[in-house]
Amino acid sequence: MKYIINVMLMLLIAISAIAMPLEASAQGTQTESLSLHINDAQVEDWLGRESRLQHPVMDGLEKRDASTLHFYFSREYGQRAEAVIATAQKAREKNLRFLPPETLDDVNIYLIGNINMYFDALDSRGRAPNWAAGLTILRDGVILIRLAPNGTAKIEPEMTLAHELNHVALRRFAQNNEFPHWFYEGLAMTATDDWNINRAESLAKAAMAGQLLDLKGIDEAFGKVGTIVDLAYAESAHFVSWLAKEHGDDAVKKLISDVATGTPFDKAFAGAFGRSPDAAFALWHQNMSRGENLLASIFSHDGLFFMISVFAAFGLMAALWRKSTIRKARMNAMNQDISENVLPSNLRSFGPFRS
């Protein structure tokens, strides 16, 4: 029975890989601690300065260099920061899937308890929203990651680091050429395997209710708060991952390269994937509506609870059956005559075997 349960669990994991095709970061109503980036116009509005800075811009920070990245952190968060820094090489390697290594050189990363401490130090008008786990200042190549004390909040700074590095690398490679917001986020999540059960649940519910956002709606959702933001991230991740799965990584690289050399995004997209972004999204939407939403729904909280309950019921039945079998065997043994020869010599004259 134990073997059967293990096989069933392995089957569950295998189905999970089918339902979530990514291959190999909120308060209120949001289920995730998310990240965002600010573009050139926002840099001018928030900071009102040139992009050249002398790092660190804050006093009293420790500094560590790791894998061509420069980290700055508060001493009070030293242990947590060191744990994040230890993942730098792995985070960097993930982003080499679609982008060249030179795009990840000399990135300045601040690991701090409050992202807005960075803007306070620069007397900036800008402020990061409370739900932001990470923020990338694209033109400066600066990443701000919010740390939390151990054991509190659903913040995964290691995943945020990998995600934000992708934003910096894509901006550096493309320079001033632009990608839609959904592609920025979708590429980052695809490259860094940023998929989880909450994203699957958000996507499954919207697909089954016929409430998936279109590409324009996804980009508009990133400026809002609540569950619609969760859905925007989930759709971006799943759609870009689907593109890579259907057409291969080289097609995604071609899109990025063509945009970097000045080709408008829509034209570069059609050249890489053979159809417009809207047409490709419609095909993805059709696939979602036809079958994948059913598989994804299995991995909603309710679906998982049901499956775990079924496994638990089988496990309980197996345990009760085994317990009953053992009890019967013991009862039968009590009624059997025990030969004196099978007893140790020191027990042959003890109790009922005494001569």
Residue 101 is predicted with a pLDDT of: 95
> Does the pLDDT at position 324 exceed 50?
yes
Using one digit for the tens of pLDDT, what is the confidence trace for 60-106?
Answer: 999 999 999 999 998 899 999 999 999 999 999 999 999 999 999 99
Average pLDDT (48-61) is 78
The 10 Å Cβ neighbour count of residue 52 is 6
How much is the pLDDT for 226? 82
| % of residues, the chain, pLDDT over 70 | 69
Q: Other C-beta atoms within 10 Å of 31: how many?
A: 18
28 CB-contact burial (10 Å; exposed 0-12 / middle 13-18 / buried 19+): exposed
pLDDT at 208: 83
Q: How far apart are CA 69 and CA 164, in angstroms?
A: 12
pLDDT score at 22: 35
Integer angstrom CA distances of residue 147 from 85, 87, 115, 125, 329 = 12, 15, 9, 22, 58
* pLDDT for the residue numbered 201: 86
Task: Please check the confidence at residue 241 and state whether its pLDDT lies above 90.
Answer: yes
Instruction: Encode pLDDT of 117-174 as tens digits.
Output: 999 999 888 888 877 888 999 888 999 999 976 554 455 888 999 999 999 999 999 9
Q: Does 220 have pLDDT greater than 80?
A: yes
pLDDT, residue 353, reads 44
Q: Which residue has the higher pLDDT, 183 or 43?
A: 183
Question: What pLDDT score does 144 carry?
Answer: 95
Return the structure tokens found at 43: 């840099």
pLDDT (average), residues 51-67: 89
What pLDDT does residue 274 have?
97
pLDDT value at 11 more than 50 = no
**What mean pLDDT is predicted for residues 28-57?**
59
Mean pLDDT, the chain, whole residue set: 79
Average confidence (pLDDT) over 201-222: 90
Of the given ranges (102-116, 262-276, 322-336, 337-351), which has the lowest mean pLDDT?
A: 337-351
Interval 302-320: pLDDT, tens: 555 555 666 666 777 787 8
* E strands, 10-122, in order: 34-38, 62-66, 69-73, 107-112
- Measured CA to CA, the distance from residue 286 to residue 168 in angstroms comes to 33
Cβ-proximal residues to 252 (8 Å cutoff; 6+ apart), any chain:
98, 187, 240, 243, 244, 272
What digits encode the pLDDT tens for the residues 177-210? 999 999 999 999 999 988 888 888 888 888 888 8
Q: Which amino acid is at 297?
A: S
